[in-house]
Chains A and B, each alone.
Chain A
């Protein structure tokens, strides 16, 4: 299949063609960029909603109930769920689908699980390209569930159009998260498991923190919504909050600002990848790399000189 045919199938909504490309993106196969070039003109329409929060707060359950509401409104849905890769074995258990199984045979819902594969920041390296494939397939809304482990999960703000931070009452570390800067990245704060004691207090605390903190540059005042995802409670209100934020950021100026930041990051990442691949080609892959490292160990060259030398090789 040539890149053009492959892309055409994806645009027609062929699930297998799309999922295979996603695999090649994740495995970083060199031919991927040729297909992405064909897909690119067909992207930019999907609305991406980020779902972030510590493990167990109910992100996947919330995604499941959001799928339900959005499907009833007639939207087609993509879901990308990310779980951590074990740093020791390189393996991963991707179990978020469990909570969304009632939608698994709905042809209007495409769910893809990804492992972080060593990437920090809450997303995998492949995430933005995989979102783009779903976008090209014609998904109206894409729900993006991040890992939820680290406190530096900020990549999602430069990827999702609306970022939701999920918290639950009675977890000491939520206040910690607020301190660590989570407050700045949430467009909507969701207090899930709100049937538990402390939900109201938590709502007041977040409200206070938001009022005390610096006003957001874009002028958006974050919303707070209480939900009980497992029973579908509060989801209607959550969807309303999402739609309100969506209307807010439809403003061309906001859109452009977002793209400026997002594409700047993506372009730099893409360049880094391309350059390091080219460098490896020039110096002779693993073998050449080992040789270069040995030269440094043996004191023939210092690290900085060697690095410059390789770069010169690349440029001529």
Chain B
């Protein structure tokens, strides 16, 4: 049947840490919620993330960071999106992110931050409520 939008989401793992268990769990959660998840693996540079997001025409980017470089990397993703005229693609983050960084990241344009312990279903719910496919 014609005209059915489906949420497309990029799950990306910037930075140097070598664990993507969390990112994979969340990717599976999104798939089970009926989303199309583009997963690009470990050690992604902000350039690679933004390029993938544009080529794949995703509705949202989810960044996962455990290594503490989130402040720089998340902001770099936002900056590059703007540079490429794709700042309409929203970005959220998750991982080990100190409480004091969260308000600053949000003020700079990260839509939401999920800290460890957040249930997958809550992240899914947040996406369903806040992200509108090509709305």
Contacts and interface: CB of A to CB of B under 8 A. Distances in A.
Contacts of A115: 36
Contacts of B28: 93
B120 interface: no
Interface stretch (A83-91, A149-157, A248-256): A83-91
A208 B57 CA distance: 46
B5 interface: yes
A94 B39 contact: yes
Contacts of B56: 19, 94, 112-113
A314 to B, nearest CB: 16
Contacts of A29: 2-3
A93 B37 contact: yes
Interface in B13-36: 27-28, 30-36
Contact of A93 (B2, B27, B47, B134): B27
Contacts of A277: 1-2
Contacts of A112: 55-56
A104 B36 contact: no
Contacts of A85: 36
A101 interface: yes
Interface string B42-79: 00110110011011110000000000000000000000
A282 interface: no
B41 interface: yes
A15 B55 contact: yes
Contacts of B33: 89, 91
B96 interface: no
Contacts of A110: 55
Nearest to B53: A19
A98 B39 CA distance: 7
B54 A15 contact: yes
Contacts of B38: 94-95, 97, 113
Contacts of B34: 89-91
A27 interface: yes
Interface size class of B (residues with CB under 8 A): 35 or more
Interface string A244-281: 00000000000000000000000000000100110010
B36 A94 contact: yes
B2 A97 contact: no
B132 interface: no
A27 to B, nearest CB: 5
Contacts of A20: 57
B6 interface: yes
Nearest to B59: A23
Q: Which of B32, B55, B133 has the most CB of A within 10 A?
A: B55
A273 B1 CA distance: 8
A92 B35 CA distance: 7
A61 B85 CA distance: 31
Contacts of B3: 27-30
Interface of A: 15-16, 19-20, 22-23, 27-30, 85-86, 89-95, 97-98, 101, 104-105, 110-113, 115, 117, 273, 276-277, 280
13 contacts: A23-B8, A27-B3, A27-B133, A97-B38, A97-B40, A97-B41, A101-B40, A101-B48, A104-B51, A105-B47, A105-B48, A112-B55, A115-B36
